[in-house]
Structure 1
Amino acid sequence: MKALRRLGLAAVALSAMTTNVLAADIVIGVRSEPSSMDPYFHNLGPNNGMIGHVFGRLVDFDSNQQIFGSIAESWKTVNDTTWEFKLRPGLKFHDGSDLTVDDVIFSFERADGYEGGNSSFRTYTKGKKLVKVDDLTLHIVTESPYPLMANDLTTILIMSSEAKGTDSTGTNKGISAKDFNDGTATVGTGPYKFVEWKKGEQIVLEKYDGYIGPIAQPWDKVTFKFIKSEPARVAALLAGDVDAIDNVPTVDVARLEKDPRVALSSGISNRVIYLHMDQFRDKSPFVTDKNGNPLDKNPLKDARVRKAISMMINRDAIVERVMEGIAIPAGQLLPKGFFGVSSNLKPDPYDPAAAKKLLAEAGWADGFGLTIHGPNDRYINDAKIAEAIGQLLTANGIPTKVVTMPKNVYFKRASKGGPDGSPEFSFVLVGWGSGTGEASSPIKSLLATHDKSKGMGASNRGRHSDPKVDDLLKQALATVDDAKRQELLAKATDIAIGENQGIIPLHYQVNTWATKKGLKYAPRTDERTTAYDFSAE
């Protein structure tokens, strides 16, 4: 853990620099290109961070996930089941049209009914009835008390109800992702306006002079350059081709710390890297016998087997060797300090003997075969992590093939690539950052019973299901008392992970940004790389 201790867990700048006069423009090298500029296409970190420059939210998070008003200047509860939001007066879209409550209602309806994307925002829209009081006053009504209303609203970006796309029928609901990607409908109220997107190369934004709101606008022009290659991204910074980069490769952190041309900023995130397993099919497509032949029975449906796999994974070794010490072994959805974590759950120890005993108890003493699927360009060292897991499982009696692919291909297949629209894969590496900054978000999305009509289990690719977890979550979401809600969320986590092993947590990411001399970045727990969080040192 030497590198992690070097960095520390706080959001701190690690290299002392003198302040330079800054240009009005900034060029930022980022690892991940968004899959769309459509606000509702995919609830994915690179999308949410990029699109949030252009479109505003009713309320938003700062770098430490503290809530502040954005489009809404104030909010309050009217009664136990009604929240009132007052919109900031004078807000205009980039095309000069006024933002009103009608646009907010339209945006929620579009997010709720969106089809064709991946990892839906429906988790945050279901169960909410939006009522227009006047052009600047909105009521949101729920069936029971809902204390996390403001947290949920940090996830939904607001677009114009008058946005025009290429739909020949003339209906706004026909606006496609293409219309946002090419700039036709990319008209928000955010601090920056969309200029262009050259796929595979860059997205360019410019300062919106008519912006009204609390977000800083330190730059006249912002260029995000997509540099997937880790060495190339670092080289671009050192050559002066970009002013800053995200996702500093763990292998380069120690070297860059000593470079006087560079400043590093690092912070622990709310993102857990984890494994989802097929818990709903009797015949799982990528589960075989040890010779690669199909099985008539799916061993992953047995919690003992899932626990055994968890105990075959040496988290400490992955953190030390794959992550260069810059990560935290995980035993649940969020690291210590976040709301709703359980004090009972610790990372499973590496114990192959106990794992094999569990397999034998479950009737799989001879093991079976697996394929692990994962992205190779989404999370820090994601392909290397998948390889390490494959090696560990193979060494302990579960021969495991490793298949990784670009995220734009991977997530579609992992979410609904099967012949019936269900998840295609059996055993997947994924990551989740809590969009609301507390435990209900990952429980709702990853572990609640998949139910599109209720917005539950939107990213539950393993289809874990337990009525006890669902009931505890339902109680928690209607509990106003913070201490009681914390207890309910922790108990739901204890059952879903501690008892059921609904997912296998691996580690929490620690993220590092690098800037040229004279700049600094405020690390965000939500991992977003945002132009307005860069400033003079």
Structure 2
Amino acid sequence: MQLNRRNLLKIATASGAVLALGGRFAHAQGAQSLRIGLSTYPPHLRPWVNVGYSGHLLSSLINRNLINYNEQGELVGELAESWENETPETWRFTLRETHFHDGSPVTAQDVEWTFEQIRADGSGAYMFDALRTITGFEVIDERNFRLTTESPLATVPALMTFPFLSIIKSGSTDSEDQGIGAGPYRIAYAEKGVSIELEPNEHYFKPGLPALSGIVITPYADESARVAALSAGDVDMIDYVPWSAMASIDRNPALALHKADAGAFMYLSFNGDGVFADPRLRQAVAFGLRRDEFVKSIFFGFGAEMTGLPRTAGSPFHHDDQAAFWGYDPERAKALLKEAGHENGLTVSLLATSQYSMHRDTAVLVQAQLAEIGITVNLTMPDWATRVNLGNQGAGDFAVQGVGLDNLDPDAVTTLIDPSLSPTYLRSRNFKVEGLSDLLEQGRGEMDAAKRVEIYRQADQMVLDATSICGLCYRATGFAAKAGVQDLAMLPDQLSPFSSVLFDKLKLA
């Protein structure tokens, strides 16, 4: 047996010496080893399965996608050096000269194998449905391959950026859950629920990176304990900074708060089985809410009002008039109620959950504010699992939702805004916005950038006018670190929870 760290771990586990090994390895890294306090230990280390933001942070340190975003929100090649739309239905990709952790080259055959694993029945992969839009994969040579789609699909490059679409060495998941990736670090040691230790990948394709001699990841599921560990110097950096702690961290000269105010967001979805089949009543809700209070009272002021659809500021798909569409206008809301035949009031049921405070408090605030315009809201707030079940069954007249986006392509919001799609607890149901589905399909297939901008402007206006969802507020995404942690950059706005794709640049002063 070769005495590498993996086999040494097996020996140590068998002898009960796991913790001692971890301690020695962590100490050996010295001052250049970064200690991260993670919000939760990933449920497993298998690639391609969505295990939440914490799981993505680890995945992005040990794996790479074909394409990612940079901090300006631009598409940049990672394992892919270039890509081009050869015909409306075909895309050609060229890989960089890159290598996996074991030194073997990343080839088109590895990409094909990865796609096959994701598309396999029962894979549980996050991209299982999305990759079905790709109907053909042709290996041209080791560094070139061609993707074919059934119809023109402008979203192909953005699909390659999706979280948990890491390219893994062919067949490597047979011997270890995580397989062999091509990211800046590789796993040297892991004890479930206790810690994960990473060492640099000497084969990483970016010159001079990674700069750290190692990373030690320790889970702190309790948010107060996570913040305390950072303040006490037990860790150098934490993810998922609780909003209640952002102000104190920001005031501490020894620490730095890195945040994006327009991160994930809270919104309302509607069930058209009842009174909300009438778009005027959905609009009444949207114009009857003071969104600044959601930001202040639920997220301690760390967020932003959501008065339009989630379009990143500075993007060609962001339009100021549409971004400010759902302003607070109680008189307009009351007029809409009267026009819809409910001038004497309306009683509706709101589905949320008591398990997570941001969902619970959002529901309570919606209830209080809508009462002021004549809408009585009865709350249903079970535990999260029950809430998801009820949502999938179509319970409630409307529901509190919280979600982020996976990419910045304008099509990313389609699954939230089109109620004609298959029912799920995350979106509105049982009504249609006439012409919306056709327009969104046209946008996906349009290769001309200027024409796409105009198509999505029209589609967004349809959604706003019909209020197929009702935006409430953005919640800030925060990472916090000691002042000596350098080059911590973040992806813009809604992509900010996935900023760890930029953490290959991290270093310590």
Residue 508 of structure 1 aligns to a residue whose secondary structure is strand
State yes or no: 1:505 paired with 2:483: no
Q: Which residue of 2 aligns with 1:85?
A: 93
Q: Which residue of 2 aligns with 1:358?
A: 336
Asked whether the equivalents of residues 84 and 140 of structure 1 are also in contact (C-alpha less than 8 Å), the reply is: yes
Distance in 2, Cα, partners of 1:514 & 1:474? 40
Change (3 A) 1:191 1:368: same
Change (3 A) 1:150 1:471: same
Of 400, 417, 420, the residue aligned with 1:447 is 417
**Equivalent residue letter for 2:408:** G
Of 150, 154, 169, the residue aligned with 1:160 is 169
**Equivalent residue letter for 1:301:** A
Q: Which residue of 2 aligns with 1:189?
A: 182
Distance in 1, Cα, partners of 2:146 & 2:270? 40
Q: Which residue of 2 aligns with 1:286?
A: none
Q: Which residue of 1 aligns with 2:18?
A: none
- Aligned residue runs from structure 1 range 104-253, under 5 A: 104-113=111-120, 115=122, 117=124, 122-123=129-130, 125-155=132-162, 156-165=165-174, 184-195=177-188, 201-213=194-206, 216-253=209-246
Q: Which residue of 2 aligns with 1:14?
A: none
Q: Which residue of 1 aligns with 2:19?
A: none
Q: 1:272-329: CA deviations, max 9, x gaps?
A: 33222334xx3xxxxxxxxxxxxxxx22333222222223321011123333332221
Q: CA deviation at 1:509?
A: 3.1
Asked whether the equivalents of residues 81 and 146 of structure 1 are also in contact (C-alpha less than 8 Å), the reply is: yes
Q: Which residue of 1 aligns with 2:293?
A: 317
Distance in 2, Cα, partners of 1:370 & 1:253? 34
Distance in 2, Cα, partners of 1:437 & 1:119? 17
Asked whether the equivalents of residues 386 and 402 of structure 1 are also in contact (C-alpha less than 8 Å), the reply is: no
Q: Which residue of 2 aligns with 1:494?
A: 461
Q: CA deviation at 1:120?
A: 5.2
Distance in 2, Cα, partners of 1:480 & 1:73? 21
Asked whether the equivalents of residues 373 and 425 of structure 1 are also in contact (C-alpha less than 8 Å), the reply is: no
Q: 1:414-438: CA deviations, max 9, x gaps?
A: 3xx369x766776443344333323
Residue 56 of structure 1 aligns to a residue whose secondary structure is coil
Change (3 A) 1:184 1:31: closer
Change (3 A) 1:348 1:328: same
Residue 76 of structure 1 aligns to a residue whose secondary structure is strand
Change (3 A) 1:26 1:127: same
Q: CA deviation at 1:33?
A: 5.2
Asked whether the equivalents of residues 230 and 236 of structure 2 are also in contact (C-alpha less than 8 Å), the reply is: yes
| Count of residues paired in the alignment | 468
Residue 352 of structure 2 aligns to a residue whose secondary structure is strand
Distance in 2, Cα, partners of 1:489 & 1:110? 33
Percent identity over paired residues: 25
Distance in 2, Cα, partners of 1:202 & 1:376? 27
- Aligned residue runs from structure 1 range 94-105, under 5 A: 94=101, 98-105=105-112
Residue 361 of structure 2 aligns to a residue whose secondary structure is helix
Q: 1:347-400: CA deviations, max 9, x gaps?
A: 5233445434434444555422423325856xx945433442343345653233
Q: 1:224-267: CA deviations, max 9, x gaps?
A: 33334333222111111111123333343333333222122233
Asked whether the equivalents of residues 393 and 400 of structure 1 are also in contact (C-alpha less than 8 Å), the reply is: no
Change (3 A) 1:223 1:383: farther
Asked whether the equivalents of residues 63 and 181 of structure 2 are also in contact (C-alpha less than 8 Å), the reply is: yes
Asked whether the equivalents of residues 54 and 191 of structure 1 are also in contact (C-alpha less than 8 Å), the reply is: yes
Distance in 1, Cα, partners of 2:409 & 2:437? 17
Asked whether the equivalents of residues 303 and 473 of structure 2 are also in contact (C-alpha less than 8 Å), the reply is: yes
Q: Which residue of 1 aligns with 2:448?
A: 481
Residue 443 of structure 2 aligns to a residue whose secondary structure is helix
State yes or no: 1:435 paired with 2:406: yes
Higher relative contact order (CA 8 A, sep 6+): 1
Distance in 1, Cα, partners of 2:490 & 2:405? 16
Distance in 2, Cα, partners of 1:394 & 1:195? 56
Asked whether the equivalents of residues 212 and 507 of structure 2 are also in contact (C-alpha less than 8 Å), the reply is: no
**Equivalent residue letter for 2:247:** A
Change (3 A) 1:524 1:374: farther
Distance in 2, Cα, partners of 1:436 & 1:462? 21
Distance in 2, Cα, partners of 1:264 & 1:42? 26
Q: 1:158-181: CA deviations, max 9, x gaps?
A: 233414459xxxxxxxxxxxxxxx
Does 309-318 or 421-430 show the bigger shift? 421-430
Of 298, 305, 308, the residue aligned with 2:281 is 305
Distance in 1, Cα, partners of 2:126 & 2:269? 14
Q: Which residue of 2 aligns with 1:397?
A: 375
How large is the RMSD of aligned CA atoms in angstroms? Answer: 3.5
Of 63, 69, 73, the residue aligned with 2:77 is 69
Distance in 2, Cα, partners of 1:77 & 1:509? 36
Change (3 A) 1:352 1:257: same
Of 361, 374, 394, the residue aligned with 1:384 is 361
- Aligned residue runs from structure 1 range 14-25, under 5 A: 23-25=31-33
Q: CA deviation at 1:188?
A: 1.8
Q: Which residue of 2 aligns with 1:31?
A: 39
TM-score (norm 1): 0.76
Of 249, 254, 263, the residue aligned with 1:261 is 254
Asked whether the equivalents of residues 341 and 439 of structure 1 are also in contact (C-alpha less than 8 Å), the reply is: no
Distance in 1, Cα, partners of 2:371 & 2:130? 36
Asked whether the equivalents of residues 59 and 150 of structure 1 are also in contact (C-alpha less than 8 Å), the reply is: yes
Change (3 A) 1:484 1:116: same
Change (3 A) 1:448 1:316: same
Q: Which structure has the highest helix share of the two?
A: 2
Gaps of 5+ in 2: 1-28
Q: Which residue of 2 aligns with 1:469?
A: 436
Residue 56 of structure 2 aligns to a residue whose secondary structure is helix
Change (3 A) 1:34 1:370: farther
Residue 310 of structure 2 aligns to a residue whose secondary structure is coil
Residue 92 of structure 2 aligns to a residue whose secondary structure is strand
Asked whether the equivalents of residues 277 and 462 of structure 1 are also in contact (C-alpha less than 8 Å), the reply is: yes
Larger Rg computed on CA atoms: 2
